[in-house]
Amino acid sequence: MWNIQRRSNSPCAMPHSRREGSRLQSGHALVVALVLIGLAGCASAPEPIPEHESPFEIDEARIILDAESRERAREVILSATDHQDSFIRANVMEAAGFLGPRTIPVLQAGLEDSSAVVRFAALATIGRLKIEELGEAARAAYELQQDRERRLVRTYREFSPRWGESERLARLREISAARSVLAAALFAMHQTGEPVSLTPLGRLLAANDPGLRGNVAMLLGFLGDPSAVSLLEEVAQRPVPMAGEDVGNLARVQIAEAMVKLGSIQALDTLRAALYSQSHETRVLAVEAIINVGDRSMEGTLFQFAADRRNNMELRLAAGRGLALWGEPATLDLSLRQATSREPIFRTWAARALGAMEDPRANAHLIGMLDDPDPRVRLTAARAILEARELRAPTGQP
């Protein structure tokens, strides 16, 4: 999950606000496009970096992502399993598939995490990877989460008349987060061969909470059942009473992405229109969605986004990553510069972009970023290195 956060991306996601329970997605696919993968602003702030000083050492001789680099990347991911920031732990869950024999223990720990966002990410990853050994654990997590959700609802109904507006909203976010975890557990059970009905996903998709809608839509997209398109299309037309316009747009982008993945060409219009939203988060999420569904017709638009210095740097780097994945590393120099930016979020996006580029300088920077002072940057660089293995490791490398 590249976290985002969402910004998420995952994440990543996360959030329409950055509070847990607002939107569980991060950072690459999961913690969704998050504003990516819970990586956009949840960790404690690092020490300020002097303006002309790199936050890490760059060894220009290290130009190959070899077995040693990949093992270091795995250690970076493992070292974040008990991080105090729940969004970073969620991104560990999304990256767990790269950990070999350590994948199952890490995901098992995630199922027992105190944070709903981490449990969601663990269950979604179990389902995406179809880890049958964890099917029974997913069922147990579902049953436990049902109890949690019922207690939260009972408490809300009993005490909400005594609460102020802020307390009621906070409790509603807790309920929404619990229901997102329920949806992920249903998905994980189905994908691991456990007998389960997916009918409750339809009810959860129709909820008034945009984060819950977006999370369920993402899971339906992963399921790959084209029959879900009509349900998604119906929900996409409904207003979201609990959300403002910008937050509702984010949910619509996620729903449209799921519809395209399930075969709806018409939903591409929604994604393309979202590229020109007045909301920065919506534009970034739309770029990620366009990349995820492989809409090469928008390649020229991504070039424009990446080249226009008036655009937010996150948007430029997200567009540059998409171009690199499509074989056009036009933003290599931009990504290299931002890899040593004073802003951790720009370094995070730069790591994602560099991971898509076949260039020795990109490799050298990614390896150096494993020592970045910010855990979000380290985690993103580690995942970029591991994801680049098949595309960029020289023949014969393990």
385, 315: one domain? yes
What local confidence, expressed as pLDDT, does residue 389 receive?
Answer: 55
Looking at the structure, tell me whether residues 262 and 222 fall in a common domain: yes
Residue with tokens 């061969």: 193
CATH of the domain at 190: 1.25.10
Per the structure, the complete domain to which residue 60 belongs is given by 52-80+295-398
Residue 353, both tokens: 């972009």
Residues 95 and 73 in one domain: no
Please check whether residues 122 and 211 belong to one and the same domain: yes
Q: Is 286 exposed, middle or buried (0-12, 13-18, 19+ CB in 10 A)?
A: buried
Q: Give the per-residue pLDDT at 54.
A: 64
In a domain? residue 28 = no
Task: Print pLDDT tens along the chain (398 aa).
Answer: 333 233 333 333 333 333 333 232 334 555 443 333 233 334 344 444 444 456 666 666 567 788 899 999 999 999 999 999 999 999 999 999 999 999 999 999 999 999 999 999 999 999 999 999 999 999 999 999 999 999 999 999 999 999 999 999 899 999 999 999 999 999 999 999 999 999 999 999 988 888 899 999 999 999 999 999 999 999 888 876 655 667 778 889 999 999 999 999 999 999 999 999 999 999 999 999 999 999 999 999 999 999 999 999 999 999 999 999 999 888 999 999 999 999 999 999 999 999 999 889 999 999 999 999 999 999 999 999 999 854 443 333 33
Q: Are residues 356 and 213 in the same domain?
A: no
Q: Name the residue among 334, 264, 262, 273 with its Cα closest to residue 298.
A: 273
Q: How far is CA 29 from the centre of its chain?
A: 5
Asked, for residue 12, whether it belongs to a domain, the answer is no
Residue 202 parent element (H or E): helix 199-205
Let me know: does 397 contact 67? Beta carbons within 8 Å. Answer: yes
Question: What's the pLDDT score for residue 86?
Answer: 95
Q: Looking at the domain assignment, is residue 212 inside a domain? A: yes
Predicted pLDDT of residue 290: 96
Structural tokens at position 304: 């424009």
- Any domain includes 3: no
pLDDT at residue 151 in the model: 96
Tell whether 186 and 271 lie within a shared domain. Answer: yes
Say if residue 224 is in the same domain as residue 367: no
Q: Which of 276, 308, 339 marks a domain boundary?
A: 276
pLDDT at position 267: 95
DSSP letter assigned to residue 43: S
In a domain, 285, yes or no: no
- Please tell me the total count of domains within the chain: 2
pLDDT at 3: 31
Q: Cα–Cα distance between 325 and 345 in angstroms, integer?
A: 21
Q: Is residue 152 part of a domain?
A: yes
**Is residue 107 domain-shared with residue 178, that is, in the same domain?**
yes
Q: Is residue 161 part of a domain?
A: yes
Question: Do 168 and 204 lie in a common domain?
Answer: yes
Please report the pLDDT score of residue 237 as a whole number.
84
pLDDT in tens, 80-132: 999 999 999 999 999 999 999 999 999 999 999 999 999 999 999 999 999 99
| Tally of helices (H runs) and strands (E runs) in the chain | 19, 0
How many whole angstroms separate alpha carbon 1 and alpha carbon 81?
A: 14
3/392 Cα distance (integer angstroms)? 23
